[in-house]
Amino acid sequence: MSPIKKTIFKFLKSLKRLPAYLFLSIVSFFCVFPFLWMFFGATMTSGEVSSGVIKIGSNFSENLKVLFDQSDFMQAFSNSVVAAVLTTVFALFISSLAAYGFEIFSTKVKNKIFGVLLLTMMVPFAALMIPLYKVIIFLDLSNSIASLIVPAIATVFLIFFFKQSLKKFPREIIQSARIDGANEFRIFRSIVVPAMKPAYAAAAILTFMTSWNNFLWPLITLSSNDKQTLPLKISILSSSYTPNYGVVLLAIVIATLPSILVFFALQKHFVAGLTGAVK
């Protein structure tokens, strides 16, 4: 085929995907637009924001100054970071361990217990938050960052997710490792975990975000300015008698950045299948 024909052919072929690109672009625009509006708003004055203008305003440094003069914004940021990171690390470890136990070593009894656990997931948090608060008070953990971390370590949600992810894991590999004499924890650590990287990455992102964005529970269990987390601060900012919209949007921007960063850091594990590890 002549070079000209080749290029034309390639071009036509790529056109086939045009609908897909168009579709994705429209969808992406809808997804991203509120963020754009948020970023622009963080640079404007309050009046400009409520008048519906979209532009890069000149109020960014002013908004920053106001935000950090407010009590404890950076403290709240660090509280949120500590809670989210620790929760993610511990939750991933303990929950995936449990999921492995439920799935690979499944017995009738374990299955029944898992069924019960699933049931517990369906009880709305609204019903549990007061009893849970009582437990926290009893353990003397109220108004502490630990009270944000500890109840979230073993979530049925994560156990369920890891369990489902393990269902398709080839059991022969585990069997052959056993025959080779490896002990179970070694198998888990050296074979299963690396192969489950996409699942761990997804779970990490979601656990981090859940903890980071958690509002109702921190509201209940935290009661001093220096322990509050970011969502609480944002609620305070946006419900003032004279809300400063530019500052509120700036706070939301700052509050959203860490989650975006965590996603960027981990998302490459969704790329280029790691099915090679299975071999």
Partner 1 sequence: MKKILLLLITLSLAITLVACGGDDGNQDGKITIWAWDPNFNIDIMNRAKEIYGGDVEIEIVEMAKGDLETKLHTSLSTEGDLPDIVLIEDYMAPKYLASYPGKFADLSESIDHTKFIQGKVQIGTYDGKQYSVPFDSGVSGMFIRNDLVLDVDVAAANLAGVSTFDEFVAADITWDDFIAVGQAYTSRTGDAFMAQNFADGGGFRVILNSTQTWYTDSSGEFDFVGNPGIEEAAEVYYKIYNAEVDYNGTMTEIYKAATDWGTWVDPLSTGEAATVTTGVWITGTVKSNADNSGNWTVMKTPRANISGAVNYSNLGGSSWYVIADSDVDESVDFLKAIYQENQDGFYDQILVNNGAMGSLLAAKSSTAYQANDSYFSNAKVWNDFASWAALIPAIDYGQFTYEADEAIINAMPGYLDGTKTLTQFLTEAETAARAKVQ
Partner 2 sequence: MLKKFKNLSCKKRNVVIGWVFIIPALVFITIFVIIPIFYSLFLVTQSCRGIVCEQDFTGNLAKLFADVQLRQVLINTFIFFLIQVPIMLTLALIFAVILNNPKLKFRGVFRTAIFLPAVTSLVAYSVLFKMMLAPDGIVNSALDFFGIGAVGWLTHPTWQRVTIIIALLWRWTGYNMIFYLSGLQGIDKEIFEASIIDGATKRQQFFKITIPLLKPIILFTTVMSTIGTLQLFDEPFNIIRGSGTTVTTMTLSQYVYNLSFVYTPNFGYAAMIAYVIMIFAALLTIIQFRIAKEDK
What is 128-178 written as a DSSP string? HHHHHHHHHHHTT-TTSTHHHHGGGSS-HHHHHHHHHHHTTS-HHHHHHHH
Show the tokens assigned to 6.
Answer: 């080749």
Choose from partner 2, partner 1, none: what does 161 bind? Cβ within 5-8 Å by kind. partner 2
Which residue number, 161 or 227, has a Cβ lying nearer to partner 2?
A: 161
* Of 197, 195, 192, 167, nearest in space to 178 by CA: 192
Minimum CB–partner distance for residue 58 and partner 1 (Å): 19
Site for partner 1 in 220-249 (CB under 8 A): 220, 223-225, 227, 232, 235-236, 238-243, 245
Maximum Cα interatomic distance, the chain, rounded to a whole number of Å: 80
Show the tokens assigned to 235.
Answer: 């609620």
Site for partner 2 in 179-218 (CB under 8 A): 184, 188, 198-199, 201-202, 205-206, 209, 212-213, 215
Q: Which of 46, 87, 165, 228 binds partner 2 (CB under 8 A)?
A: 165
Going from the C-alpha of 50 to that of each of 27, 37, 236, the distances in angstroms are 26, 12, 19
Which residue number, 174 or 227, has a Cβ lying nearer to partner 2?
A: 174
Q: How many other CB atoms are there within 10 angstroms of residue 270's CB atom?
A: 13
Minimum CB–partner distance for residue 69 and partner 1 (Å): 11
Contact 64, 250 (CB under 8 A): yes
Sequence letter at residue 170: P
Minimum CB–partner distance for residue 199 and partner 1 (Å): 20
Please tell me the count of residues contacting partner 1 according to CB under 8 A: 43
How far apart CA 217 and CA 6 sit, in angstroms, is 61
Choose from partner 1, partner 2, none: what does 66 bind? Cβ within 5-8 Å by kind. none
Which residue number, 227 or 234, has a Cβ lying nearer to partner 2?
A: 234
Provide the 8-state DSSP code for 192. I
Minimum CB–partner distance for residue 16 and partner 2 (Å): 11
How big is the chain, counted in residues? 279
Which residues of this chain interact with partner 1, rule CB under 8 A?
A: 47, 50-51, 70-71, 82, 86, 90, 93, 97, 129-130, 133-134, 137, 140-147, 149-150, 185, 216, 219-220, 223-225, 227, 232, 235-236, 238-243, 245
